[in-house]
Amino acid sequence: MPLVDKIQKDMYKAMKEKEKERINALRNIIGKLKYRYIDKGDKLTEQEEIKVIQSLAKQRRESIEMYKQGGRNDLVETETKELSIIEEYLPQAMSEEEVRRLVRETVKETGAESMSDLGKVMPLVMKKGAGKVDGKLAQEVLRELLS
């Protein structure tokens, strides 16, 4: 079952149970997925659906940081709840140790030796991680290994 279908099914369930915050978060996800579908002009692959949802999660994390800096705790709480709902539809993220192992393997495979090789290693790490790797963490580990 495509991810968008599962999300719609969950939205209908949330509507029956009158979970207002969940309904809004799921509508937002569905809207972004449909927008991407229209933009592409074809069905989205599971990987493309995950990328859309990851970008929504990233936006929420950035908003949370901005609201914290601005002292808007009411909005921090709202965004945090929405983020937790969005994350339910993402694959389980790799642990820090798994990310470190993946980065080390990729560095060995590519023969990377210095920071100038960062640009050729990072895309491979992200591709191998396929939506499960935290790019920020992977980049930190990579910089650590190459410096």
Residue 72, number of CB atoms within 10 A of its CB: 15
Indicate where the chain has its CATH 1.10.1510.10 domain(s).
Answer: 3-87
Task: Decide if pLDDT at 28 tops 90.
Answer: yes
pLDDT of residue 104: 84
pLDDT of residue 44: 85
Question: If pLDDT is split at 50, 70 and 90, which confidence band does 142 have?
Answer: confident
User: Which whole-number Å values give the CA distances from 122 to 61, 93, 126, 143, in the listed order?
Assistant: 22, 17, 6, 10
pLDDT of residue 46: 83
Give the mean pLDDT of 94-116. 82
Numbers of helices and strands, H then E, in the chain: 7, 0
Predicted confidence (pLDDT) per residue in 71-87, tens digit? 999 999 999 999 999 98
Dist CA 141 CA 100 (whole Å): 6
Q: Which amino acid is it at 48?
A: E
3-87 to CATH, choices 1.10.1510.10, 3.50.50.60, 3.40.30.10, 3.40.50.2000: 1.10.1510.10
Q: What is the CATH number of domain 96-146?
A: 1.10.10.410
- State percent of the chain over pLDDT 70: 99
Indicate where the chain has its CATH 1.10.10.410 domain(s).
Answer: 96-146
User: Which whole-number Å values give the CA distances from 142 to 17, 103, 105, 129, 137, in the listed order?
Assistant: 45, 6, 11, 14, 9
pTM comes to 0.70
